[in-house]
Amino acid sequence: MISFLQPRKISRTVPPEKVERTYKKFRTQSLAGVFLGYAAYYIVRNNFALSTPYLQEQLHLSATKIGLLSSCMLITYGVSKGVMSSLADKADPKRYMALGLLLCALVNIMMGFSTSFWLFAGLVVLLGLFQGMGVGPSFITMANWFPKKERGTVGAIWNVSHNIGGGIVAPIVGVGFAMFGNQHWQIASYQVPAAVAIVVAIIVLALVKGSPVNEGLPELSTLYEEEKNTIVDKDKGEAAPENMNSWQIFKNYVLTNKNAWYVSFVDVFVYMVRFGVITWLPIYLLSVKGFTKEQMSVAFLVFEWAAIPSTLLVGYLSDKLFKGYRMPPAIIAMFIILGCIFGYWQSTSLHWITIFAATIGCLIYIPQFLASVQTMEIVPSFAVGSAVGLRGFMSYILGASLGTTLFGVMVDLVGWSGGFYVLLAATVLCIVFCFLAHKGAKEMRAL
């Protein structure tokens, strides 16, 4: 690990009378920092989708080449999310996150000057690679500063950041077009979002803190009694040895951890449903259900933004009502989604189709973010990045790709019914792995 990214430990210790106040201040700042940072990652990622009409026209790209660029981003991001999140376990979260954001901004600036398809494809691959540096530090920061009894609520707040980031891309790009005009679409599409990301990277460096110990505070287990019952194999000790590298952490605490695999497969099948619906929703509503483009746009918008209030509510309920068990509300959500997929498929009413699509959008992020919260609770804090990496790799390489590709193959082979059979099967399998993950959580509490 290069010296810039290594964790820093301050020499002074916070006086006992200031510990509680300093702790609350630092954890609030850290949550705000990773929230803004992760939202900014989406600003310099989703702007690519907005630029594709201009790319197609200016670079004379076919739909196949546009699809290839999107696939390059998806696959590279999935691989990077696995590798980069594991490496984050040995790094200073704020420097790691800020560096990734600066690199994404740099790639975006270069994309604004690219006039060659293959050069642009290479930059898209680099963008996917650096995008993987955002999620690991976020989860590590939450695990370092917040006890298990609060992680449902905190995880829900952080999870909204990607909805916010994805939602404000269009206005940011719109401001760019208003300032520079259509003839400078590269500046509006890439370099204006890059400038925003650079500013946010500086904010991340200012706000996010290292672990409490590195900031001169007591360990989390000292402040919260229940944190002493940490999930660590007794044969492996309570803390990672100083000389343990990222691969050893991954192998010892994640690769052989059945609960890490359970939450990863929960995410795989959630992503199959999420990407299967959102990728094919525009075509399905226009070509099969007879929606106009305006009606389809409304349904698409509702699908994305309906998740924000439901995510915040269920995060709080998983802490308070379900006593820290994350999977029961996920299971309830998936059973409702199962019925809504069937209704979305079979209904002929524009009104009800929109309601079913909105309900799926409202609920599909619930099991996704609850699986991410449970990921923080099935491994010790020094292995959170590795566990997040496995889940991220599986969700994109298997879940997202199957939700888009397998769905399309089944539509070509047996019609739209085949695509919906894929979504229904994925929903049932997600419920199965939610049950297994819940069983694993109960077993860990019984230790």
pTM, entire model: 0.79
Q: For residue 412, with 0-12 CB atoms within 10 Å meaning exposed, 13-18 middle and 19 or more buried, which class applies?
A: exposed
Distance, CA of 144 to CA of 283 (rounded, Å): 43
- How far is the C-alpha of 234 from the C-alpha of 17, rounded, in Å? 34
Residue 333 confidence (pLDDT): 94
Confidence (pLDDT) at 433? 96
pLDDT at 235 (0 to 100): 42
3-state secondary structure of 288: coil
287, 303, 349, 415, 442 from 296: Cα distances, Å? 11, 11, 14, 21, 43
CATH numbers and ranges of domains, the chain: 16-215 (1.20.1250.20), 253-442 (1.20.1250.20)
pLDDT tens per residue across span 360-372: 888 988 898 899 8
252: closest CA among 379, 377, 373? 379
> Distances in Å between the alpha carbon of 221 and those of 21, 110, 226, 228?
17, 46, 7, 5
Question: What pLDDT shows up at residue 168?
Answer: 84
Instruction: Please report the pLDDT score of residue 238 as a whole number.
Output: 45
In the prediction, which pLDDT does 304 show?
Answer: 62
DSSP annotation string for 142-155: HHHHS-GGGHHHHH
Q: What is the pLDDT along the chain (447 residues), one digit of tens a residue?
A: 566 677 777 778 888 888 889 999 999 999 999 999 999 999 999 888 777 777 777 777 776 677 677 777 878 888 898 889 888 888 899 999 999 999 999 999 999 888 788 888 899 999 999 999 999 999 999 988 998 888 888 988 998 898 788 778 878 888 898 998 888 888 998 999 999 999 999 999 999 998 888 888 888 777 776 555 445 444 444 455 566 777 888 888 898 999 999 999 999 999 899 888 876 766 677 777 777 766 665 665 666 667 778 888 888 888 888 888 899 999 999 999 999 999 988 888 878 888 888 888 889 888 988 998 898 888 887 888 888 889 888 888 888 778 777 887 888 888 888 888 999 999 999 999 999 999 998 888 876
- Report the alpha-carbon distance of residue 127 to residue 144 in Å, rounded: 28
**How many angstroms separate the CA atoms of 23 and 1, rounded?**
28
Quote the pLDDT of residue 237: 46
Q: What is the DSSP letter of 188?
A: I
